[in-house]
A and B are shown apart, each in its own frame.
Chain A
Amino acid sequence: MRAKSAFAAGVGSAAIVAIGWQAGLGALAQQLPTSTAIASGTTTNASGTTGTTATPSPSASASASASASSGTSSSSSSSSSSSTTTTTTYKDGTYTGSVVATRYGNSQVQVVIKGGKISDVIVLQRQQVDTKSNQISASATATLKTKVLAAQSASVSNISGATYTTQSYLQSLQNALSQAK
């Protein structure tokens, strides 16, 4: 290849990659959940429940939180304001969070509040663009539900390897919870 042509090929290739990069910047900004959500999520987690990362087993904590919620619901009829575990209480009802788009697909949750507590989180949409993200988001959303029920807030730690699922799930949840205030 002659030097001039090699130079042209090099410049052309660089230009093509640069166009791709430029096009990708828009996609990047769209796909990354807003940076404030990530920051608040992680910082509150750091100051709050550090023990959640070392949850013994999902099933154990799930049953524990289930018994806890059933306990509060039975006592809620007599005294609804006797909450001692969390500072925030929510209005009873079912609230649907916003749709959060990521590069692996949309995420959306619905939160069920009973007796001022988060009693259930229902996944309406999760990352499913391909088999791998389907697999990841399925297990991650199950773990997230357990964590959220235990923490009674959207301030739970990230699940490594499922950052998109975690962040978009929590963002949608945060939105739903804000409606419940």
Chain B
Amino acid sequence: MTTTATPLAQQISSRYRGRLRRGDLLETIMYFSIAIVLALFLADGGAIYFLDIKEVATGLGIVAGLIGTDLLLIMLILAARIPILDRTFGHDKVIALHRKLGKPVLYLILGHMVLLLIGYGISSGNNIIAEAIDMIVNLPDMGWAFIATGLMILVVVTSLVIVRRKLAYQFWYAVHLLSYAAVLLALPHQFTNGQLFGEGKMARWYWMAISIATFASIVIYRVILPTALSLKHKLVVTAVDVVGPGVVSITMRGNRLDELTARGGQFFNWRFWAPGLWWDSHPYSLSANPDGQSLRITVRDLGDSSNKLLRLKPGTAVSFEGPYGLFSDAARTTTKAVFLGAGIGITPIRAMLEDARVNPMDATVILRGATNDQVYLWDETYEICVKKSAYLRVLVGHRPRGVDTWLSNEAYTAGESLESLAPDIRNSDVFICGPTAWLDLVVEDARQLGVPEHRIHAERFDF
């Protein structure tokens, strides 16, 4: 083990370094986009606003609007499910950044509106309200821009409420579609009223290009690509097998599935063309690594429309969006790996384990279930562990009363810990999938043991 850098280690580390480079490049482009927007403003002599105290509000308002709009387009790009972003950062990280930008963008756009009302009000001697009315009446496209601002407030507020789970997902989704309308309504006023966007100016072309590119990427990756893939592969349900009480595995077959580049652990948004199901799509991870002929998911009845999935009939047509996510072997940074799954969260772990490139004795698998029945796909997982010579630990039973732990009562009283179950965890990639509360406790333990952040890969079961 002294000088022999194994091919696997080389392969994993070169892939990982490539991913880091790509990530840094994409992040740099994001920062540059803000810098370019500022540079175009300055190149047009924008600094002049800051020479006269009466025009400072106008200048700041314009800058707030420019940066706000740039970040808003970045938000849309982040939500467009562009494959290179997903492969580089993972769907969850991309969406996390999208969410993080929501409030700052709203503040910048509101700041843009208020500052320009003040700035223009100073020029014309109007108060804010009078100036707002004057602008809506006299300037082209301003009425739409004000409506767009109202829509943006609505979108951000509903998103904050949905996070607290007080709104139905479908309602939030419908409102979120309005954000596209908001951006489309707000775009014209930039070009008709902003002198920076005047005809024949560089900035006009730049902004037109990035606006068109953003909307094109949404249409391509959220509409055209999924539709084309669904039509190409023509998935059909071929088997529905009971795995446990209220849990089924759904197997689907289709045309040329070997050309679909999906890996175990990734998820798709599925739409089953059956009564009561076709109007809504559901995100489920693959529970088996794709073998080029079939795809399989394992679904638990969560009490909503997912209970209809249990009675799905073979022959049902399926359309899909995906594959998405970096919760797969593509996220590996090192040769050793620890996999932790609880309940239905075991199923993606089982799929990625099948796909995992690990040397014998380098992988540790820890499964958790409240009862024996709830260690789903136990037999399949056991077989894969035998085949790959992986360590397997199964913790069954409820957790101890009054203690915040992810362990079972039995394991806890026996003095087990994450370190005792996976001694080499500090040098391993750690993949965790399960209910959020359980998962957070595992992540906390892993951090305390000194597992670096880039090696902790967690898949939460929320959208």
Does A99 have its Cβ within 8 Å of any Cβ on chain B? no
Per the bound structure, the CA–CA distance linking A8 and B124 in Å amounts to 44
Question: Known contacts A5-B28, A129-B198, A136-B123; is A16 also within 8 Å of B35 by CB?
Answer: yes
Docked-complex contact B45 and A27, CB < 8 angstroms: yes
Docked-complex contact B140 and A131, CB < 8 angstroms: yes
Q: B interface, by DSSP: helix, strand, loop or mixed?
A: helix
Closest to B141 in A: A131
Closest to A21 in B: B42
Question: Which residues A90-141 have CB closer than 8 A to chain B?
Answer: 103-104, 129-133, 135-136, 139
Question: Known contacts A1-B24, A135-B138; is A130 also within 8 Å of B125 by CB?
Answer: no
Docked-complex contact A20 and B40, CB < 8 angstroms: yes
Does B20 have its Cβ within 8 Å of any Cβ on chain A? yes
- Least distance between B85 CB and chain A CB atoms (Å): 15
Interfacial chain B residues near A136, Cβ < 8 Å: 123-124
Does B122 have its Cβ within 8 Å of any Cβ on chain A? yes
Per the bound structure, the CA–CA distance linking A130 and B138 in Å amounts to 12
Docked-complex contact B198 and A160, CB < 8 angstroms: no
Interface residues as binary, A1-22 with B (CB distance below 8 Å gives 1, 0 otherwise)? 1100110111011101101110
Docked-complex contact A13 and B24, CB < 8 angstroms: no
Docked-complex contact A32 and B48, CB < 8 angstroms: yes
Contact of A28 (CB < 8 Å), options: B32, B45, B125, B198: B45
Per the bound structure, the CA–CA distance linking A130 and B41 in Å amounts to 16
Question: Which residues B262-301 have CB closer than 8 A to chain A?
Answer: none
Per the bound structure, the CA–CA distance linking A161 and B27 in Å amounts to 40
Number of interface residues of B (CB under 8 A): 37
Question: Known contacts A103-B44, A129-B198, A131-B193; is A8 also within 8 Å of B52 by CB?
Answer: no
Does B36 have its Cβ within 8 Å of any Cβ on chain A? yes
Does A163 have its Cβ within 8 Å of any Cβ on chain B? yes
Question: Known contacts A5-B28, A131-B139; is A23 also within 8 Å of B193 by CB?
Answer: no
Question: Known contacts A24-B44, A161-B123, A162-B123; is A130 also within 8 Å of B193 by CB?
Answer: yes
Interface residues as binary, A28-41 with B (CB distance below 8 Å gives 1, 0 otherwise)? 10111000000000
Contact of B41 (CB < 8 Å), options: A10, A20, A131, A162: A20
- Least distance between B432 CB and chain A CB atoms (Å): 24
Per the bound structure, the CA–CA distance linking A112 and B16 in Å amounts to 77
Question: Known contacts A9-B27, A9-B32, A160-B122; is A24 also within 8 Å of B198 by CB?
Answer: no
Closest to A18 in B: B39
- Least distance between A168 CB and chain B CB atoms (Å): 13
Question: Known contacts A13-B35, A28-B45; is A8 also within 8 Å of B125 by CB?
Answer: no
- Least distance between B329 CB and chain A CB atoms (Å): 23
Per the bound structure, the CA–CA distance linking A30 and B38 in Å amounts to 20
Contact of A131 (CB < 8 Å), options: B24, B35, B36, B192: B192
Interfacial chain B residues near A20, Cβ < 8 Å: 38-43
Interfacial chain B residues near A32, Cβ < 8 Å: 48
Interfacial chain B residues near A28, Cβ < 8 Å: 45, 47-48
Number of interface residues of A (CB under 8 A): 36
Contact of A161 (CB < 8 Å), options: B41, B124, B138: B124
Interfacial chain B residues near A163, Cβ < 8 Å: 52, 54-55
Does B150 have its Cβ within 8 Å of any Cβ on chain A? no
Docked-complex contact A160 and B24, CB < 8 angstroms: no
Per the bound structure, the CA–CA distance linking A129 and B198 in Å amounts to 7
Per the bound structure, the CA–CA distance linking A135 and B55 in Å amounts to 16
Per the bound structure, the CA–CA distance linking A45 and B41 in Å amounts to 34
Does B31 have its Cβ within 8 Å of any Cβ on chain A? yes
Per the bound structure, the CA–CA distance linking A27 and B40 in Å amounts to 12
Interfacial chain A residues near B140, Cβ < 8 Å: 131
Interfacial chain B residues near A8, Cβ < 8 Å: 28
Question: Known contacts A24-B47, A130-B198, A163-B52; is A16 also within 8 Å of B193 by CB?
Answer: no
Interfacial chain A residues near B23, Cβ < 8 Å: 1
Docked-complex contact B35 and A17, CB < 8 angstroms: yes
Interfacial chain B residues near A160, Cβ < 8 Å: 54, 122-123
Does B436 have its Cβ within 8 Å of any Cβ on chain A? no
Does B46 have its Cβ within 8 Å of any Cβ on chain A? yes
Of B27, B47, B195, most A-chain CB atoms within 10 Å: B195
- Least distance between A30 CB and chain B CB atoms (Å): 8
Does B34 have its Cβ within 8 Å of any Cβ on chain A? yes
Can you list 27 A-B pairs, Cβ within 8 angstroms, ordered by A?
A2-B20, A5-B24, A6-B24, A8-B28, A9-B31, A10-B31, A12-B32, A13-B32, A13-B35, A16-B32, A17-B35, A17-B42, A20-B40, A20-B42, A20-B43, A21-B43, A30-B45, A104-B195, A129-B195, A129-B198, A130-B193, A131-B140, A131-B192, A132-B195, A135-B124, A136-B124, A161-B123
Instruction: Taking A17-B42, A20-B41, A28-B45 as given, write out 14 further A-B residue pairs in contact, using a Cβ cutoff of 8 Å, ordered by the A residue number.
Output: A1-B23, A9-B24, A9-B27, A9-B28, A19-B39, A21-B43, A24-B44, A32-B48, A103-B45, A129-B195, A130-B198, A136-B123, A160-B122, A161-B123
Chain B positions near chain A (C-beta within 8 angstroms): 20, 23-24, 27-28, 31-32, 34-36, 38-48, 52, 54-55, 120, 122-125, 138-140, 192-195, 198
The 10 closest A-B pairs by CB, nearest first: A20-B39, A161-B123, A27-B45, A5-B24, A13-B35, A23-B43, A20-B42, A16-B35, A24-B42, A9-B28
